[in-house]
């Protein structure tokens, strides 16, 4: 009997030691899979490596990783079978997913699927209008339980229209779920995105939009209006959001407003419009007011200023002391689309509790190179940034100068962490996933390891502030139509006319451009706020009315479009435009 007890104790001690060895192995990186020779095209700090887990699963948005290493990814648009969640498993430990399955039995009202989180044994995910969950079985890759509706947003019937409808998700430690409801317009104007139009004061959109709402994470069939609690307001649009477990607090990175030059050309230059206003990092607590739509943040001056729609002149800051200022301001239009606070042990100590941000990349910086398209890092201490933001991973676009959004080979989108501390990154063009690992000596990691990324921050056109003259890509453009197009149209349809592939359609070889002159002119004069089909694809991005343009300007831009981007149609005259305008009146 004594011998049996000793044997049992020895087995227990052996098991304990084996577990400690495995933990040490994981933490030192010796148990990690081999990296790809080129790190999957990424530039990383010294000591970091990357392996491509999977390629081309579809237009990936956010992701989450289970305790057993299974990966779940939300697709922006469901497949033909209506399935919009992808599950991945690496069964042999080589870092590559060898089981890839798409699933999802749910209603999807739109093409803005985003949120993906695991909370208390459930997989939560969102569409444009709904938040769902399904129970996870760790023994099965694909959940087999019922898909439950947690929250529904009737965004299509919103009084003030709808924009910024992505719904990332965050959960606290007390059973609450946090969901942002973005502003239905740019800056709460009486006429959305119309040059010179004043802002509404008070802004009626703030009642149900432009903020963060809190819900019961376990209650079914909630609606924003009846069951949600407005936790924070004055936050224009959020896709990057995370609950910081160390601080027990919510953090978000706001997308700043658009088109300062387009709407206020006498006040803001095209260069200022390309880099302003800041994308703002907030710590969000109950009652936080981020200041939208009344204020924007100028990251170069480090000041909160009045928007011109409310009397601002780039100097006035009346009332700014009463709203929340950001912890940090990033350059404008980087498009922060995910935020993740690192809690793992694999990376060097300086990354612990710091924030990774996926910058999806701009569409709105013309005539300067598009910005973003990288993953940044912010060191944190005591809940606040302890240093300037850094470049952590670059090379996604596989281009030096990104003229059009569609030129980028990949756009980083989602960030999550695996059970061993590896960082996983999705991209939204084809659906590639990288696993970033640290294999160097953590004790030797220092500033020298960051040098090549710091150099990229200073020199790469997708990261640095553009030079007002040298980086102007429009030099030499003489045609009036081209100038008008680049000011008013390229933001959405891109300078190559191919659109952004999601909200804004292409202008090349489509009947919308090449036929029916009257319809085309009317479209520019009236704008469009309904779903249309272009070349077999549905688009629901809002096109504002451009009736403020002169007949000559409209004729010029439409002629430019009809003779470029692969089109070869006849010109449109100012007389034609004037005739349609008169008929409308």
The whole-number average pLDDT for the span 405-416 is 94
Sheet holding 222-223, edge to edge: 116-119, 122-126, 130-135, 148-152, 222-223
User: Does residue 109 surpass a pLDDT of 80?
Assistant: no
CB 497 within 8 A of CB 514: no
Decide if 94 contacts 34 (C-beta within 8 A).
yes
Q: What is the mean pLDDT of the chain?
A: 91
Quick check: 181 and 213 in contact, CB under 8 A? Answer: yes
Q: Is the pLDDT of residue 3 over 50?
A: no
For residue 169, what pLDDT is reported?
A: 98
At residue 392 the predicted structure's pLDDT band, cuts being 50, 70 and 90, is very high
* Each residue's pLDDT tens digit, 483-535: 899 899 998 999 899 998 778 899 988 989 998 889 999 999 999 888 888 88
pLDDT, one tens digit per residue, over 355-384 is 999 999 998 898 899 999 999 999 999 999
Mean pLDDT over 387-413 rounds to: 93
**Check whether domain 480-584 has CATH 3.30.70.580, yes or no:** no
Work out the average pLDDT over 234-252. 98
pLDDT tens track for 328-353: 999 999 999 999 999 999 999 999 99
Chain position carrying tokens 């009947």: 511
pLDDT at 5 over 70: no
pLDDT in tens, 23-59: 333 444 568 999 999 999 999 999 999 999 999 999 9
Among 54, 42, 61, CA closest to 398: 42
Contact predicate 275/249, CB 8 Å: no
Who wins on pLDDT, 135 or 568?
135
Which ranges of 161-263 does DSSP label H, i.e. alpha helix?
A: 224-227, 260-263
In the chain, CATH 1.10.760.10 covers 480-584
Q: Where in the chain is the domain with CATH 2.120.10.30?
A: 39-459
Residues in a beta bridge with 385: 380
Please provide the DSSP assignment of 118-181 as one string: EETTEEEEE-SSEEEEEE--TT-SS--SPPEEEEE--GGG-TT---------EE-TTSEEEEEE
| Phi, psi (degrees; rounded to nearest 5) at 5 | -65, -45
Helix (H) or strand (E) holding 24: helix 2-28
- pLDDT at residue 20 greater than cutoff 80: no
CATH fold for domain 39-459: Neuraminidase (2.120.10)
């Amino acid at each position: 009997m004594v011998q049996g007890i000793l044997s049992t104790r020895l087995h227990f001690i052996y098991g304990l030691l084996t577990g400690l060895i495995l933990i040490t192995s994981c933490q030192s990186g010796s148990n990690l899979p081999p990296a790809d020779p080129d790190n999957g095209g990424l530039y990383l700090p010294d000591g970091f490596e990357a392996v491509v887990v999977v390629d081309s699963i579809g237009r990936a948005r956010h992701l989450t990783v289970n305790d057993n290493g299974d990966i779940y990814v939300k697709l922006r648009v469901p497949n033909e079978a209506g399935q919009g969640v992808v599950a991945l498993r690496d069964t042999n430990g080589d870092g590559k997913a060898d089981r890839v399955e798409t699933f999802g039995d749910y209603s999807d009202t739109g093409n803005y699927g985003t949120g993906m989180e695991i909370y208390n044994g459930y997989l939560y995910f969102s569409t444009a209008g709904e938040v769902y969950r399904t129970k996870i079985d760790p023994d099965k890759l694909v959940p087999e339980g019922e898909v439950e509706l947690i929250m529904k947003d009737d965004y299509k019937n919103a009084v003030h229209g709808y924009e910024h409808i992505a719904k990332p998700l965050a959960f606290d430690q007390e059973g609450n779920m946090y969901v942002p409801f973005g502003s239905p317009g740019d800056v709460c104007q009486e006429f959305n995105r119309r040059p010179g139009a004043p802002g509404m004061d008070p802004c009626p959109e703030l009642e149900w939009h432009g903020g963060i709402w809190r819900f019961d994470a376990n209650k079914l069939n909630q609606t924003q209006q009846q069951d949600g609690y407005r936790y924070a307001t004055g936050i224009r649009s959020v896709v990057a959001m995370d609950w910081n477990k160390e601080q027990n607090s919510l953090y978000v990175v706001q997308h700043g407003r658009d088109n300062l030059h387009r709407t206020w050309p006498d006040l803001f230059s095209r260069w200022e419009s390309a880099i302003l206003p800041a994308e703002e990092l907030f710590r969000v607590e109950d009652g936080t007011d981020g200041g939208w739509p009344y204020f924007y943040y100028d990251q170069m001056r480090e000041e909160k200023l009045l928007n011109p729609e409310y009397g601002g002149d780039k100097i006035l800051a009346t009332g700014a002391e009463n709203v929340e200022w950001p912890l940090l301001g990033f350059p404008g239009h980087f498009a922060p689309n995910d935020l993740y606070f690192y809690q793992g042990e694999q990376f060097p100590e300086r990354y612990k509790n710091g924030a990774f941000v996926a910058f999806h990349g701009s569409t709105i910086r013309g005539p300067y190179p598009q910005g973003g398209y990288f993953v940044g890092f912010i060191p944190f201490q005591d809940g606040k940034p302890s240093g300037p933001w850094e470049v952590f991973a670059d090379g996604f676009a596989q281009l030096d100068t990104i003229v059009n959004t569609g030129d980028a080979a990949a756009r980083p989108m989602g960030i999550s962490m695996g059970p061993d501390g590896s960082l996983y990154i999705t991209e939204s063009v084809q659906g590639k996933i990288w696993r970033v690992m640290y294999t160097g000596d953590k004790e030797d990691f220092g500033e020298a390891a960051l040098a090549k990324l710091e150099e990229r921050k200073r020199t790469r056109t997708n990261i640095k502030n553009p030079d007002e003259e040298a980086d102007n890509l429009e030099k030499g453009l003489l045609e009036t139509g081209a100038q008008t197009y680049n000011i008013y149209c390229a933001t959405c349809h891109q300078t190559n006319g191919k659109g952004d592939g999601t909200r804004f359609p292409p202008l090349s070889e489509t009947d919308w451009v090449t036929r029916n002159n009257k319809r085309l002119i009317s479209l520019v004069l009236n704008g469009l706020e309904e779903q249309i089909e272009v070349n077999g694809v549905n688009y629901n991005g809002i096109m504002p009315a451009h009736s403020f343009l002169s007949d000559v300007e409209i004729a010029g831009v439409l002629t430019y479009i009809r003779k470029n981007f692969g089109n070869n149609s006849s010109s449109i005259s100012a007389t034609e435009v004037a005739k349609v305008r008169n008929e409308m009146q």
